[in-house]
């Protein structure tokens, strides 16, 4: 299931998007999802096993409702190599790392590489992915490092990058809004392309004589 769009009531469009939350062990993926969906945070959270699913319903505007199906994939899953199965049909991704754990940034880049190998848009471009530098409540990022991060983010094909804290609820909604905005844009563009293709299809000549 990639996405479903349909008119629920007159003039109201509903979308269902599958969004991945990926990154190394303990970087705060489940905490990010819990903060976003339920506005809760736990100092002690059990390590995820496999995939946890959550749903967030967003009334985007007066005419648009978005249902985000969040796939929070355990950091250890990369080792098991099941990601091709998990990634299938996703419309976007949060790629999370822990600002207090440098190696988790390398991990995030590996996750992104794997994501780009496994899923792409119809036009061959990567699906939108937002890099989350999580646990920003624990460390101060210098301006220089922030601009290096921005640069890295562009080089590696991320749609954007946010310093977040699931604990202090910093930039959680903002990052999500940013990703959803891009998913909706892509969805709209691809629907327009489909419409154009339909209009460009050669008309069958109804007057032709069949022999």
Ligand X SMILES: Nc1nc2c(ncn2[C@@H]2O[C@H](COP(=O)(O)OP(=O)(O)OP(=O)(O)O)[C@@H](O)[C@H]2O)c(=O)[nH]1
Q: Which residues bind ligand X (CB under 6 A)?
A: 25-31, 42-45, 47-48, 74-75, 134-135, 137-138, 165-167
Which parts of 42-101 interact with Mg ion (CB under 5 A)?
Answer: 48
Measured from the CB atom, is 90 or 165 closer to ligand X?
A: 165
Question: Six-digit token pair at 30?
Answer: 């489940």
Residue with tokens 């991320």, as numbered in its chain: 158
**Residue 118 C-beta: closest distance to Mg ion, Å:** 20
> Which range binds Mg ion by CB under 5 A, 40-48, 55-63, 131-139, 188-196?
40-48
Measured from the CB atom, is 163 or 187 closer to ligand X?
A: 163
Q: Which of 3, 21, 30, 90 binds Mg ion (CB under 5 A)?
A: 30
**Residue 13 C-beta: closest distance to ligand X, Å:** 32
CB–CB of 128/156 below 8 Å? no
**Residue 116 C-beta: closest distance to ligand X, Å:** 20
Integer Cα distance of 173 and 40 in angstroms: 13
Residue with tokens 């796939």, as numbered in its chain: 71
Q: Which does 138 bind (CB under 5 to 8 A by kind): Mg ion, ligand X, none?
A: ligand X
Integer Cα distance of 153 and 57 in angstroms: 28
Measured from the CB atom, is 30 or 159 closer to ligand X?
A: 30
Q: Which does 165 bind (CB under 5 to 8 A by kind): Mg ion, ligand X, none?
A: ligand X
Measured from the CB atom, is 42 or 185 closer to ligand X?
A: 42
Residues in binding contact with Mg ion, number by CB under 5 A? 3
Beta strands in 31-105 (DSSP E): 51-61, 64-73, 92-98
Question: Six-digit token pair at 15?
Answer: 């979308």
Task: Supply angle C-alpha 80, 82, 85, rounded to 5.
Answer: 175
Q: Which does 51 bind (CB under 5 to 8 A by kind): Mg ion, ligand X, none?
A: none
Integer Cα distance of 90 and 160 in angstroms: 18
Helix (H) or strand (E) holding 46: none
């Amino acid at each position: 299931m990639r996405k479903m769009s349909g008119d629920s009531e007159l003039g109201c469009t509903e979308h269902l998007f599958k969004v991945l939350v990926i990154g190394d062990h303990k970087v705060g993926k489940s905490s990010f999802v819990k903060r976003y969906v339920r506005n809760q945070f736990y100092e002690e959270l059990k390590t995820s096993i496999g995939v946890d699913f959550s749903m967030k319903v967003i009334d985007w505007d007066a005419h648009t409702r978005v249902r985000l199906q969040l796939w929070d994939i355990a950091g250890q899953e990369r080792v098991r190599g099941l990601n091709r199965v998990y990634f299938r049909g996703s419309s976007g991704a949060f790629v999370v790392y822990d600002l207090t754990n440098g190696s988790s940034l390398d991990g995030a880049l590996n996750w992104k590489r794997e994501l780009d190998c496994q899923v792409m848009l119809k036009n061959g471009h990567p699906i939108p992915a937002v890099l989350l530098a999580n646990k920003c409540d624990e460390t101060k990022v210098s301006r220089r490092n922030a601009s290096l991060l921005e640069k890295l983010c562009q080089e590696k094909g991320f749609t954007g990058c946010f310093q977040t804290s699931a604990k202090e609820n910093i930039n959680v909604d903002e990052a999500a809004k940013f990703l959803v905005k891009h998913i909706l844009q892509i969805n709209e563009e691809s629907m327009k392309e489909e419409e154009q293709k339909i209009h460009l299809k050669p008309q069958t000549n109804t007057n032709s004589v069949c022999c």
